[in-house]
Structures are given as structure tokens and as C-alpha cells.
Amino acid sequence: MVIRKTRADRWFDLFNYSLLGAVMLVVLYPLYLVVISSISDPNSVNGGSVWLLPDGVTFEGYRRIFADGRIWTGYRNSLLYAALGASINVALTLGAGYALSRTELAGRNFFMFLIVFTMFFGGGLIPSYLLVKELGMVNTVWSQVIPNAVGAFNIIITRTFFQSTIPKELQEAADMDGCSDATFFFRIALPLSLPIVAVMTLFSVVGHWNSYFQALIYLRNEELYPLQIVLREILIVNATQDNMLMASQNEAETLRIVDVMKYGVIIVASLPVLVLYPFLQRYFVKGVMIGSIKG
């Protein structure tokens, strides 16, 4: 049976498509502008003539960025921190969220109170640094993945997801069949929880990939610098070198390469996350909606 749309329905659909198209344009255009600006002549970018197509195509910014060997070291370190940190984050978050979702856990409300308490009160930077130093993690890989390994907000979302997704009757049936808690968690609960696993993975990977403050505080060895710190150093060094040449060069020409490198740095730093997101998108939307609305 074919349902015919009324004129009001067609106008409503047209309004929805127009609104969604406008929202998509607002979201995608800034990224597109950064891409074309990164390969355009900085003079054209600063003059406002680059808004639809690149002008005066040049890859000088990317050449300057990738000519620095530290960029590959930064990529390697960021991938290591993101993979190792996300593994630790997801494992601890899922374990804590599942345990707190079990009604038979003694004192779970007290534990939940302690977790929520950390969202409002913290020790501060200096006590955190002293703690990391006493644990011998300063200037090591572990300083980038152990502090903030578990987030209270993520635990709350995960707990709510398990409460609203895993029926209590399923647990009771598994108990009658002699299924242990560990077996139920790994063989039943986790396979049914791929959306929240994908959400926590994406949150953790993006968080570690974009993190630079912890590296700035805890790392001194350049061989351990993540990509974000390396890109920051490249921009600072190039800006300093160009400023030293101002006496013999035109100021506009001096800032030319620095400007185009800024756009290239944004693309270099964002590309891995943009590549990862499409593979997790279908789980991401479902996981966030279930974990944040239900319960």
C-alpha cells in the first residue's frame, strides 16, 4: 500500500531537508576551508579570496612540516598512547560500570558517591604531579596513560547502559545454568554491549590523541613527545626562525610560511581521528543515546 503525501507533508519534508542541509554546510564548511587554505597561497587566504576553491596551490606548508623528522616520532608516540591508553580506559570503565550496575553489589551506592565526588573536587596540579613523581612515572610512557585512566562521567554512562540494556532476567537465567559472573560478563554482557564499547573507545582515543597538557607537564625527553607537542614545537621554532629573518625580509613574506603551516598542522593532527570515526559512527550514536537517556 502506497501512502500519498499531502501538500503539508511535502512542505514539511522540504523544510527538514533544507534545515539539515544548512546544518551540514555549517559543520563541514569550516573543515573544507581549512583543507583548501592549507594548500593555498597565504596571501590569498589572508586577503579573503579563498572561500570555495584553493588559490595559488602550494604544498610548502606540508613540506616544511614533514621535513622535520620529529613528526614521525610524534605520530608513533601518539598512536602508542592512544592505543595503550584507550585499552586501559575501556577495560577499567567497562569493568567498573558493569559492577556498579549489579544490584547485588554491596555498597554500590557508596562507591558511586565516591566516583561522583571526584567530578566536583580534585587535588589540583601540584599534588597530581607529586603523586606521579613519587610513583616514578615522570618522563615515562605511563605518565600519559595512567593518570586519568578512568573518568567518572564515562563510568556513569556505562553503568546506565548496562542497567538499561542487560535484562536482570538474563542474569538470572545464566545463574541457573551455572554461569559465573566473569563468564557472563565476557561471553554475554560484552557481546551485547558493542555500542558502549565503541563509544568509550572513541572517547578514549580522541582524548589521548588530542592530549598535550600531560605531556607538557610530565615529559622532558623529546623522544617521548606526542604529536601535539611536536607540532607545537615545530610552529614555535619556525615562527622564531622567521622572526629572526624579519630584518632582511618583508614582514608579510616572513609570516607567509608560518600561516600556511598552521592550517597544515590542523589537518595533520585531525586526520587519524577523522579516519577512525566513520567505522564507529553507527555504534557511537546508539551507545550515547541509550547510555544517556534511559535509566
In this prediction, residue 91 carries a pLDDT of 93
| Single-letter amino acid, residue 103 | T
HSE value, Cβ hemisphere, 13 Å, CA-based, for 16: 6
- Distance of alpha carbon 175 from alpha carbon 166, whole angstroms: 14
Tell me the angle at which helices 7-38 and 251-293 cross, rounded to the nearest 10 degrees.
Answer: 140
Is pTM beyond 0.85 here? Answer: no
* Dihedral angle over CA of 96, 102, 106, 108, nearest 10: 50
HSE value, Cβ hemisphere, 13 Å, CA-based, for 60: 13
> How many helices (H) and strands (E) are present in the chain, helices listed first?
13, 0
Q: Where are the domains of the chain?
A: 62-293
Per the CATH hierarchy, to which homologous superfamily does domain 62-293 belong?
MetI-like (1.10.3720.10)
- Distance of alpha carbon 269 from alpha carbon 132, whole angstroms: 27
Is there a contact between 201 and 86 (Cβ–Cβ < 8 Å)?
yes
- Show pLDDT as tens, one digit a residue, over the chain (295 residues): 556 778 888 888 899 999 999 999 998 898 888 888 888 887 777 777 888 888 888 887 788 778 877 888 888 899 999 999 999 999 999 999 999 988 888 888 899 999 888 888 877 888 889 999 999 999 999 999 998 888 888 899 899 888 888 888 888 888 888 888 888 888 888 888 888 888 888 888 888 988 888 898 999 888 899 988 887 877 676 555 555 555 445 555 556 667 777 788 888 888 877 777 777 666 666 655 654 544 4
Among 65, 41, 64, residue whose Cα is nearest residue 256 = 41
Per-residue CA distances from 39 to 69, 118, 183, 190, 238 (Å)? 21, 45, 54, 45, 18
- Distance of alpha carbon 111 from alpha carbon 117, whole angstroms: 10
| Residue 11 phi, psi dihedral angles, 5° rounding | -65, -40
Residues 6+ apart with CB under 8 A from 157: 97, 196, 199, 288, 291, 292
Is there a contact between 218 and 143 (Cβ–Cβ < 8 Å)?
yes
| Residue 273 phi, psi dihedral angles, 5° rounding | -70, -40
- Distance of alpha carbon 278 from alpha carbon 285, whole angstroms: 11
Note the pLDDT tens digit of each residue in 15-52: 999 999 999 999 889 888 888 888 888 777 777 788 88
In this prediction, residue 84 carries a pLDDT of 94
| Single-letter amino acid, residue 145 | V
- Distance of alpha carbon 253 from alpha carbon 241, whole angstroms: 13
- Distance of alpha carbon 272 from alpha carbon 259, whole angstroms: 22
Is there a contact between 38 and 57 (Cβ–Cβ < 8 Å)?
no
In this prediction, residue 74 carries a pLDDT of 87
- The distance from CA 145 to its chain's CA centroid, rounded to whole angstroms, is 14
Note the pLDDT tens digit of each residue in 244-284: 555 445 555 556 667 777 788 888 888 877 777 777 666 66
Among 61, 18, 66, 68, residue whose Cα is nearest residue 262 = 61
Task: Report CA torsion sign: 15, 18, 20, 26.
Answer: negative
- Distance of alpha carbon 220 from alpha carbon 140, whole angstroms: 9
